[in-house]
Structure 1
Amino acid sequence: MKSFLRICTALAVFAFPSMGWTDVNLLMAEEPGCSWCARWNAEVGDAYHLTDEGRTAPLQRFDLHDGPPDGVTLKSGIYFTPTFVLVKDGVELSRIEGYPGEDFFWGFLARMLENAGLPAGEPTQDNG
């Protein structure tokens, strides 16, 4: 009976990958004194977690000089703040470097989520 349950569990995990067996986050690299980070905080920061995008990819901040959180693999170094990195299972999928305004941010984030097959508003297992 135990082996039957293991087989069923394995089949469910592999047969239904879109059901949210992932860990998705939007990382924000920032540093003290970053005026563009402050602008993002004022225009987007307080509301981000309330949006469909925020529920799909919860924000995790880190200091540029401390490096990314443990277990995260980036495609390349981060040299500008803010930089927003979409990660799935700890692996970078895409990024936005800089913040020239709210419309720019939301448009690029929507494209990043769409390209990753992550429709905004559908929480993953770990964030919803």
Structure 2
Amino acid sequence: MQVARAITTYYIVLMLNSFRQLAVLLGAAFFALASVSASLAESDTGLRLLMIEQPGCAYCVAFNRDIAPIYEISEEGVLAPLVHADLRKDLPEGVTLNSRPYVTPTFILIGPDGTEMSRMTGFPGEDFFWPYIAQMIADARQTLGPPALN
């Protein structure tokens, strides 16, 4: 009986240590994410990433399933939040494009004044998307200059 109690106690202590370690890791991750989000929010760029899509677009479905949830919490997503628009409908109010997109998905970086700054036509996959979008945002931020201090 004492052996069973000792074994049970051992596993309970082991489990509690695992939970404690997990809680510490989750707390640290939350703190790091909150710090990054706060510092990025302070440098609001006014940029938006407009995704032109249409029903039946397999690449749009793949992007929305695999990339969009990650994009929203990424550095790029904080600097240029994702806005969806249908290819066959009107553009969001205040948006001016250089030319009408005909391929979906098309990703258009919109500046603070609502004008197109750059675009990426198609979705060639995650490995190409992230560096290309990061470069689009970096170029736009360089063009716009440093954010105005409040």
8 Å Cα contact 2:52-2:106 kept in structure 1: yes
| Number of the residue aligned with 1:116 | 140
Q: C-alpha separation between the residues in 2 aligned to 1:35 and 1:54? A: 22
Name structure 2 gaps, 5 residues minimum: 1-41
In our comparison, the structure showing a higher alpha carbon Rg is 2
1:20 Cα shift?
Answer: 5.3
Q: C-alpha separation between the residues in 1 aligned to 2:72 and 2:124? A: 20
Instruction: Compare relative contact order (CA 8 Å, sep 6+) and give the higher one, 1 or 2.
Output: 1
| Number of the residue aligned with 2:46 | 23
1:94 to 96, 102, 118: 118
Name structure 1 gaps, 5 residues minimum: 1-18
Runs of at least 4 residues of structure 1 off by over 3 A? 19-22
Q: Any residues of structure 2 matched to 1:34-45 within 5 Å, and which? A: 34-45=57-68
Closer/same/farther in 2, CA of residues 65 and 124 from structure 1, 3 Å limit: farther
8 Å Cα contact 2:45-2:80 kept in structure 1: no
Q: C-alpha separation between the residues in 2 aligned to 1:38 and 1:108? A: 20
Q: C-alpha separation between the residues in 1 aligned to 2:87 and 2:48? A: 17
TM normalised by structure 1 equals: 0.73
Say which structure is richer in strand.
1
Closer/same/farther in 2, CA of residues 59 and 28 from structure 1, 3 Å limit: same
Q: C-alpha separation between the residues in 1 aligned to 2:139 and 2:48? A: 15
CA RMSD, Structure 1 to Structure 2 (Å): 2.5
Q: Any residues of structure 2 matched to 1:2-13 within 5 Å, and which? A: none
Counting matched residue pairs gives 104
| Number of the residue aligned with 2:127 | 103
8 Å Cα contact 1:22-1:124 kept in structure 2: no
Q: C-alpha separation between the residues in 1 aligned to 2:57 and 2:114? A: 25
| C-alpha distance after superposition, 1:25-50 (max 9, x if no partner) | 00000000000001111220111110
Closer/same/farther in 2, CA of residues 41 and 52 from structure 1, 3 Å limit: same
Percent identity over the alignment is 46
